[in-house]
Protein backbone atom coordinates (compact mmCIF):
# COMPACT_ATOMS: atom_id res chain seq x y z
CA UNK A 1 0.00 0.00 0.00
CA UNK A 2 2.83 2.40 0.87
CA UNK A 3 4.49 1.76 -2.51
CA UNK A 4 1.22 2.44 -4.30
CA UNK A 5 0.76 5.70 -2.41
CA UNK A 6 4.30 6.78 -3.21
CA UNK A 7 3.95 5.97 -6.91
CA UNK A 8 0.60 7.76 -7.05
CA UNK A 9 1.99 11.05 -5.74
CA UNK A 10 5.13 10.79 -7.85
CA UNK A 11 2.89 10.30 -10.89
CA UNK A 12 0.88 13.37 -9.94
CA UNK A 13 4.06 15.40 -9.46
CA UNK A 14 4.83 15.09 -13.18
CA UNK A 15 1.48 16.36 -14.42
CA UNK A 16 1.99 19.61 -16.32
CA UNK A 17 -1.74 20.29 -16.31
CA UNK A 18 -2.06 19.98 -12.53
CA UNK A 19 1.11 22.00 -12.03
CA UNK A 20 -0.30 24.79 -14.19
CA UNK A 21 -3.61 24.74 -12.32
CA UNK A 22 -1.81 24.78 -8.97
CA UNK A 23 0.21 27.85 -9.93
CA UNK A 24 -2.87 29.69 -11.15
CA UNK A 25 -5.33 28.81 -8.39
CA UNK A 26 -3.61 27.03 -5.52
CA UNK A 27 -0.87 29.39 -4.32
CA UNK A 28 -3.21 31.26 -2.00
CA UNK A 29 -4.27 28.00 -0.36
CA UNK A 30 -0.74 26.91 0.55
CA UNK A 31 0.94 30.28 1.19
CA UNK A 32 1.78 30.54 4.88
CA UNK A 33 0.98 26.85 5.29
CA UNK A 34 3.30 24.80 3.04
CA UNK A 35 5.21 27.61 1.32
CA UNK A 36 6.23 30.87 2.99
CA UNK A 37 5.17 33.12 0.13
CA UNK A 38 5.11 33.54 -3.62
CA UNK A 39 8.29 35.67 -3.45
CA UNK A 40 11.11 36.02 -0.95
CA UNK A 41 10.13 39.46 0.32
CA UNK A 42 6.72 38.19 1.42
CA UNK A 43 8.42 35.24 3.14
CA UNK A 44 10.59 37.34 5.45
CA UNK A 45 8.00 37.75 8.28
CA UNK A 46 7.58 33.98 8.47
CA UNK A 47 11.36 33.43 8.56
CA UNK A 48 11.72 36.03 11.31
CA UNK A 49 9.01 34.32 13.34
CA UNK A 50 10.72 30.95 12.95
CA UNK A 51 14.01 32.52 14.05
CA UNK A 52 12.25 34.11 17.03
CA UNK A 53 11.05 30.62 18.00
CA UNK A 54 14.63 29.36 17.98
CA UNK A 55 14.47 27.72 14.57
CA UNK A 56 17.06 28.30 11.85
CA UNK A 57 15.94 28.08 8.22
CA UNK A 58 17.11 27.26 4.74
CA UNK A 59 15.17 28.94 1.97
CA UNK A 60 14.52 27.56 -1.49
CA UNK A 61 13.09 29.34 -4.52
CA UNK A 62 10.98 26.55 -5.97
CA UNK A 63 11.54 25.44 -9.54
CA UNK A 64 13.80 23.00 -11.38
CA UNK A 65 14.60 21.43 -14.75
CA UNK A 66 15.09 24.78 -16.48
CA UNK A 67 15.79 24.57 -20.22
CA UNK A 68 16.33 28.27 -20.96
CA UNK A 69 19.58 30.13 -20.32
CA UNK A 70 17.53 33.28 -19.75
CA UNK A 71 15.47 31.64 -17.01
CA UNK A 72 18.61 30.12 -15.47
CA UNK A 73 20.09 33.63 -15.32
CA UNK A 74 16.92 34.95 -13.70
CA UNK A 75 17.10 32.16 -11.11
CA UNK A 76 20.70 33.09 -10.42
CA UNK A 77 19.80 36.74 -9.90
CA UNK A 78 17.02 35.67 -7.53
CA UNK A 79 19.47 33.61 -5.48
CA UNK A 80 21.91 36.53 -5.27
CA UNK A 81 19.14 38.94 -4.21
CA UNK A 82 17.98 36.46 -1.59
CA UNK A 83 21.48 36.09 -0.13
CA UNK A 84 21.87 39.85 0.10
CA UNK A 85 18.49 40.23 1.80
CA UNK A 86 19.31 37.44 4.27
CA UNK A 87 22.46 39.35 5.16
CA UNK A 88 20.77 42.74 5.34
CA UNK A 89 17.90 41.46 7.47
CA UNK A 90 20.27 39.42 9.66
CA UNK A 91 18.18 36.28 9.18
CA UNK A 92 19.37 32.96 10.58
CA UNK A 93 19.10 31.23 7.24
CA UNK A 94 20.92 29.24 4.61
CA UNK A 95 20.01 29.09 0.92
CA UNK A 96 19.26 25.91 -1.03
CA UNK A 97 19.58 25.76 -4.82
CA UNK A 98 18.96 23.15 -7.49
CA UNK A 99 21.54 23.00 -10.25
CA UNK A 100 18.89 22.21 -12.88
CA UNK A 101 17.38 25.63 -12.12
CA UNK A 102 20.78 27.22 -12.86
CA UNK A 103 21.41 25.53 -16.20
CA UNK A 104 22.69 22.02 -15.40
CA UNK A 105 20.71 20.52 -18.29
CA UNK A 106 21.70 23.30 -20.70
CA UNK A 107 25.46 23.79 -20.57
CA UNK A 108 28.23 22.92 -18.12
CA UNK A 109 29.90 26.32 -18.44
CA UNK A 110 26.59 28.08 -17.80
CA UNK A 111 25.83 26.29 -14.53
CA UNK A 112 29.42 26.80 -13.33
CA UNK A 113 29.24 30.51 -14.16
CA UNK A 114 25.89 30.93 -12.39
CA UNK A 115 26.96 28.96 -9.33
CA UNK A 116 30.21 30.96 -9.11
CA UNK A 117 28.25 34.20 -8.96
CA UNK A 118 26.01 32.81 -6.21
CA UNK A 119 28.90 31.51 -4.13
CA UNK A 120 30.88 34.74 -4.50
CA UNK A 121 27.94 36.51 -2.86
CA UNK A 122 27.52 33.76 -0.26
CA UNK A 123 31.16 34.07 0.79
CA UNK A 124 30.81 37.84 1.11
CA UNK A 125 27.72 37.44 3.28
CA UNK A 126 28.94 34.38 5.18
CA UNK A 127 25.83 32.39 4.27
CA UNK A 128 25.82 28.66 3.53
CA UNK A 129 24.48 27.55 0.14
CA UNK A 130 23.34 23.95 -0.13
CA UNK A 131 23.38 22.31 -3.54
CA UNK A 132 20.26 20.16 -3.45
CA UNK A 133 20.39 16.65 -4.82
CA UNK A 134 17.96 15.82 -7.59
CA UNK A 135 17.27 12.58 -9.47
CA UNK A 136 19.90 9.87 -9.90
CA UNK A 137 20.92 10.66 -13.52
CA UNK A 138 22.09 14.08 -12.31
CA UNK A 139 23.75 12.84 -9.12
CA UNK A 140 27.26 12.30 -10.50
CA UNK A 141 27.50 15.70 -12.14
CA UNK A 142 26.04 17.41 -9.07
CA UNK A 143 28.71 15.90 -6.83
CA UNK A 144 31.45 16.75 -9.32
CA UNK A 145 30.35 20.38 -9.28
CA UNK A 146 30.16 20.38 -5.49
CA UNK A 147 33.71 19.02 -5.22
CA UNK A 148 34.93 21.62 -7.70
CA UNK A 149 33.51 24.50 -5.67
CA UNK A 150 34.40 23.05 -2.26
CA UNK A 151 38.08 23.43 -3.16
CA UNK A 152 37.77 27.23 -3.18
CA UNK A 153 34.60 28.06 -1.23
CA UNK A 154 33.69 27.37 2.40
CA UNK A 155 30.01 28.34 2.18
CA UNK A 156 28.85 25.39 0.09
CA UNK A 157 27.26 22.10 1.13
CA UNK A 158 25.30 19.32 -0.52
CA UNK A 159 22.92 16.41 -0.02
CA UNK A 160 23.11 12.62 -0.08
CA UNK A 161 20.08 10.38 -0.53
CA UNK A 162 19.95 7.11 1.40
CA UNK A 163 17.78 5.29 -1.13
CA UNK A 164 20.57 5.30 -3.75
CA UNK A 165 22.99 2.36 -3.72
CA UNK A 166 25.85 4.69 -4.59
CA UNK A 167 25.43 7.03 -1.60
CA UNK A 168 27.58 5.03 0.82
CA UNK A 169 30.49 5.21 -1.62
CA UNK A 170 29.76 8.89 -2.31
CA UNK A 171 30.00 9.54 1.41
CA UNK A 172 33.46 7.99 1.54
CA UNK A 173 34.63 9.98 -1.47
CA UNK A 174 33.36 13.23 0.05
CA UNK A 175 35.07 12.68 3.39
CA UNK A 176 38.36 14.43 2.42
CA UNK A 177 36.35 17.59 1.69
CA UNK A 178 34.95 17.64 5.26
CA UNK A 179 31.55 18.70 3.94
CA UNK A 180 28.41 19.83 5.69
CA UNK A 181 25.96 17.20 4.46
CA UNK A 182 22.19 17.09 4.53
CA UNK A 183 21.19 13.42 4.72
CA UNK A 184 17.78 12.50 3.36
CA UNK A 185 15.99 9.31 2.38
CA UNK A 186 15.15 10.49 -1.17
CA UNK A 187 12.03 11.64 -2.96
CA UNK A 188 12.36 10.88 -6.68
CA UNK A 189 11.05 7.78 -8.43
CA UNK A 190 14.12 5.69 -9.26
CA UNK A 191 14.44 2.23 -10.86
CA UNK A 192 15.50 -0.71 -8.66
CA UNK A 193 18.87 -0.97 -10.41
CA UNK A 194 19.98 2.33 -8.81
CA UNK A 195 17.86 2.63 -5.66
CA UNK A 196 16.64 0.39 -2.86
CA UNK A 197 13.02 -0.55 -3.63
CA UNK A 198 12.22 -1.62 -0.05
CA UNK A 199 11.65 0.90 2.73
CA UNK A 200 13.51 -1.18 5.34
CA UNK A 201 16.65 -1.17 3.21
CA UNK A 202 16.42 2.60 2.78
CA UNK A 203 15.99 3.06 6.53
CA UNK A 204 18.94 0.76 7.29
CA UNK A 205 21.17 2.63 4.85
CA UNK A 206 20.04 5.96 6.28
CA UNK A 207 21.07 4.88 9.77
CA UNK A 208 24.39 3.61 8.45
CA UNK A 209 25.11 6.93 6.73
CA UNK A 210 24.22 8.92 9.85
CA UNK A 211 26.56 6.79 11.97
CA UNK A 212 29.44 6.87 9.49
CA UNK A 213 29.18 10.64 9.06
CA UNK A 214 29.18 11.31 12.78
CA UNK A 215 32.07 8.93 13.46
CA UNK A 216 34.10 10.69 10.77
CA UNK A 217 33.54 14.05 12.41
CA UNK A 218 31.36 15.55 9.67
CA UNK A 219 28.72 18.14 10.45
CA UNK A 220 25.44 16.67 9.26
CA UNK A 221 21.79 17.54 9.00
CA UNK A 222 19.42 14.65 9.64
CA UNK A 223 16.55 15.75 7.42
CA UNK A 224 13.60 13.56 8.34
CA UNK A 225 10.14 13.64 9.88
CA UNK A 226 10.47 10.00 10.89
CA UNK A 227 10.35 9.78 14.67
CA UNK A 228 12.37 6.57 14.58
CA UNK A 229 15.22 8.31 12.78
CA UNK A 230 15.10 11.26 15.14
CA UNK A 231 15.24 8.99 18.18
CA UNK A 232 17.97 6.89 16.57
CA UNK A 233 20.08 10.01 16.07
CA UNK A 234 19.52 11.15 19.65
CA UNK A 235 20.51 7.77 21.07
CA UNK A 236 23.48 7.37 18.74
CA UNK A 237 24.93 10.79 19.53
CA UNK A 238 24.63 10.14 23.24
CA UNK A 239 26.32 6.76 22.83
CA UNK A 240 29.14 8.20 20.73
CA UNK A 241 29.34 11.35 22.90
CA UNK A 242 28.78 13.54 19.86
CA UNK A 243 28.19 17.16 20.91
CA UNK A 244 24.96 18.81 19.82
CA UNK A 245 26.87 21.37 17.77
CA UNK A 246 28.07 18.64 15.36
CA UNK A 247 24.65 17.94 13.87
CA UNK A 248 21.18 19.36 13.39
CA UNK A 249 17.72 18.17 12.53
CA UNK A 250 15.95 19.53 9.48
CA UNK A 251 12.22 19.46 8.77
CA UNK A 252 9.87 21.05 6.28
CA UNK A 253 7.96 24.25 6.86
CA UNK A 254 4.36 23.49 7.75
CA UNK A 255 5.02 19.93 8.95
CA UNK A 256 5.83 18.63 12.45
CA UNK A 257 5.70 22.13 13.93
CA UNK A 258 5.24 20.86 17.48
CA UNK A 259 8.10 18.38 17.13
CA UNK A 260 10.39 21.12 15.82
CA UNK A 261 9.80 23.25 18.91
CA UNK A 262 10.14 20.29 21.26
CA UNK A 263 13.56 19.49 19.80
CA UNK A 264 14.65 23.11 20.27
CA UNK A 265 13.51 22.97 23.90
CA UNK A 266 15.65 19.84 24.31
CA UNK A 267 18.68 21.78 23.16
CA UNK A 268 18.94 20.49 19.58
CA UNK A 269 19.49 22.71 16.58
CA UNK A 270 16.57 22.55 14.15
CA UNK A 271 16.57 24.04 10.69
CA UNK A 272 13.30 24.46 8.80
CA UNK A 273 13.31 24.05 5.02
CA UNK A 274 11.27 27.06 3.84
CA UNK A 275 10.23 27.03 0.18
CA UNK A 276 8.80 30.02 -1.63
CA UNK A 277 7.58 30.77 -5.14
CA UNK A 278 4.72 29.80 -7.40
CA UNK A 279 6.20 26.54 -8.67
CA UNK A 280 5.22 24.63 -5.52
CA UNK A 281 3.17 21.75 -6.90
CA UNK A 282 5.93 19.25 -7.82
CA UNK A 283 7.72 19.92 -4.53
CA UNK A 284 4.52 19.30 -2.57
CA UNK A 285 3.66 16.05 -4.36
CA UNK A 286 7.15 14.62 -3.76
CA UNK A 287 6.92 15.45 -0.07
CA UNK A 288 3.65 13.51 0.11
CA UNK A 289 5.29 10.62 -1.75
CA UNK A 290 8.25 10.45 0.65
CA UNK A 291 6.28 9.20 3.61
CA UNK A 292 2.53 8.50 4.05
CA UNK A 293 2.51 10.31 7.40
CA UNK A 294 3.46 13.51 5.56
CA UNK A 295 -0.01 13.51 4.03
CA UNK A 296 -1.59 14.02 7.44
CA UNK A 297 1.04 16.59 8.48
CA UNK A 298 0.60 18.52 5.25
CA UNK A 299 -3.17 18.76 5.36
CA UNK A 300 -3.15 19.68 9.02
CA UNK A 301 -0.84 22.52 8.01
CA UNK A 302 -3.07 23.65 5.17
CA UNK A 303 -6.20 23.58 7.30
CA UNK A 304 -4.74 25.31 10.34
CA UNK A 305 -5.75 28.89 11.04
* C-alpha distances in Å from residue 32, one per residue of 85, 175, 272: 20, 38, 14
- What DSSP designation does 159 have? E
Q: Is 241 left (phi over 0), alpha (psi -120 to 50) or beta?
A: left
Q: 201 an active-site residue? A: no
* C-alpha distances in Å from residue 25, one per residue of 18, 31, 280, 281, 304: 10, 12, 12, 11, 19
Catalytic-role residue among 6, 75, 182, 286: 182
Closest residue by Cα to residue 259 from 210, 216, 293, 209: 293
Instruction: For strands 181-184 and 220-223, give the pairing.
Output: parallel
**CA Rg value for the chain:** 18
* Element holding 60 (H helix, E strand): strand 56-61
Q: Within a 10 A sphere around the Cβ of 89, how many other Cβ atoms? A: 12
The strand ranges marked E within 162-298 are 181-184, 220-223, 247-252, 270-276
Instruction: For strands 156-161 and 247-252, give the pairing.
Output: unpaired
Catalytic-role residue among 6, 75, 105, 132: 132
Burial class (CB in 10 A: 0-12, 13-18, 19+), 296: exposed
C-alpha dihedral sign at 133, 6, 201, 244 = positive
Q: 132 an active-site residue? A: yes
C-beta separation of 66 from 110 below 8 A: no
C-beta separation of 268 from 29 below 8 A: no
Report, as residue numbers or ranges, the catalytic residues: 132, 182
Amino acid sequence: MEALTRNFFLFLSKSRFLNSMAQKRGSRLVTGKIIAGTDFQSSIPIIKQLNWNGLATTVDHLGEFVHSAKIASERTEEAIRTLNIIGKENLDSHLSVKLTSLGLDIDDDLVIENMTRILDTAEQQGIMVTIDMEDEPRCEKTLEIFKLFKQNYSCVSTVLQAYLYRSEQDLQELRPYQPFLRLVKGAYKEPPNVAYPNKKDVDDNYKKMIEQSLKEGLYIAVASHDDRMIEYTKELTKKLQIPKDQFEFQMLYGMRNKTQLQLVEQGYKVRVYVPYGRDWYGYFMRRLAERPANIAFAFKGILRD
